[in-house]
Amino acid sequence: MLNRVDLLRIFCAAAQAGSFREAAAHLGISPQAVTRAVKTLEDELGEVLFHRNTRRVHITAYGQALAQQARLALDGLDELFRRNARDDEAAIGGRVGITAPQALGRRVLLDLLLPLLQRYPNLQVELRLADEPTDSVSAQIDIGVRVGLIRDRRYIARALAQVPFHVVATPQLLATTGKPESLEALMQRPLSALIDRNSGRVWPWMFADGQMLAPQRPAFVCDDAEAELTAVLGGLAYGQLPGYLAVPHIRSGALVTVLDGFAPPPWELFIYRPQRGPVPARVRLIYDYLIERFADPASFPTHR
């Protein structure tokens, strides 16, 4: 059960955001938890804090006055703790377990984390890279990054960016084989195939309107996305690659896209926390930092 300070913090977040959903995303809790906290506070005070319907919420005059008083009280409480904290910002340290897909972790996540780890030398990041979801309990995961669906509804997840998929080849391979103008023509070109390590089967290529096609006679087969990228860059085959792998090479001219009009809907990139409840300062620091970096197209380019 939440105490009065927790209720006021949630209420102030909702008052500032103007939306229970946005407040929930900022706090790392569910929108339902925000609704329950506001309702509990209203019952305790005997006043309506928000007018709400199925589409929006609007703070009442009483709620505005309470929010102003609550912010002053909470700021004073926070200052009390800051003055008496044992560690200052520079001393934030300790282990933080992070999981991410292999290629994303090596090609993107490490580069994003390096400036923060240099600034906070007492942080110890333990990185678990796996394309399959990692067991958060046994691996002691504090933060996860995943592209696609988050199936475990116990996790606190937030969508940060969209990841498109591009069909690409080298200019030399295009000159040799001719640019395909249809999916049928593409299937006649030398293609790469990525194997699902769980099933041993080839991942199908995805296209608009839910179309999925599996390479019948692939020119290159592997079970690693970075190896596939190397083969495509080497001119061995066409590949369908996620934006975070393809875009740097598209921008440099090393790869060229084809059949852009047949591109599938992009997948979402999520950041999540497996654990509810209090968040240590070291975990919150990295979590908030990664939210900012992944949401910035300049830091995480996936579109040309």
Among 36, 53, 83, residue at a domain's last position: 83
Question: Does 300 map to a domain?
Answer: no
Span 162-180, pLDDT tens digits:
999 999 999 999 999 999 9
Span 198-212, pLDDT tens digits:
889 999 999 999 999
pLDDT at 124: 94
User: Same domain, yes or no, for 97 and 66?
Assistant: no
Question: Does 114 map to a domain?
Answer: yes
Assign residue 253 a region (left: φ > 0; alpha: ψ between -120 and 50; beta: otherwise): left
User: Same domain, yes or no, for 257 and 173?
Assistant: yes
Domain that holds residue 183: 165-262
User: Same domain, yes or no, for 256 and 172?
Assistant: yes
Q: In this structure, what CATH number is given to the domain that contains residue 184?
A: 3.40.190.10
Mean pLDDT, to the nearest integer, of 127-142? 82
Average of per-residue pLDDT values in the chain: 90
pLDDT at 303: 82
pLDDT at 25: 87
3-state secondary structure of 113: helix
Alpha-carbon gap, residue 124 to 134, rounded angstroms: 19
273 DSSP β-pair partners: 156
Q: In this structure, what CATH number is given to the domain that contains residue 21?
A: 1.10.10.10
* Residue 110 confidence (pLDDT) above 80: yes
pLDDT-wise least confident of 6-10, 184-188, 224-228? 6-10
Among 83, 98, 127, residue at a domain's last position: 83
User: Same domain, yes or no, for 248 and 176?
Assistant: yes
* Residue 89 confidence (pLDDT) above 70: no
User: Same domain, yes or no, for 201 and 278?
Assistant: no
The CA distances from residue 199 to 57, 195, 223, in Å, are 47, 8, 11
Kindly report the pTM of this predicted structure. 0.69
User: pLDDT band at residue 80, thresholds of 50, 70 and 90?
Assistant: confident
Alpha-carbon gap, residue 256 to 191, rounded angstroms: 14
User: pLDDT band at residue 304, thresholds of 50, 70 and 90?
Assistant: confident
User: Same domain, yes or no, for 286 and 138?
Assistant: yes
pLDDT-wise least confident of 6-15, 31-40, 131-140, 226-235? 131-140
Structure tokens at 77: 């409480």
Mean pLDDT, to the nearest integer, of 16-26? 88
If you write DSSP's letter for every residue of 177-218 in order, what string do you get? H----SHHHHHTS-BEEEB-TTT-PBPPEE-GGG-EE--SS-
pLDDT at 202: 94
pLDDT-wise least confident of 16-30, 78-92, 122-136, 142-156? 78-92
Residue positions counted in the chain = 304
State how many domains the chain has.
Answer: 3
pLDDT at 119: 92
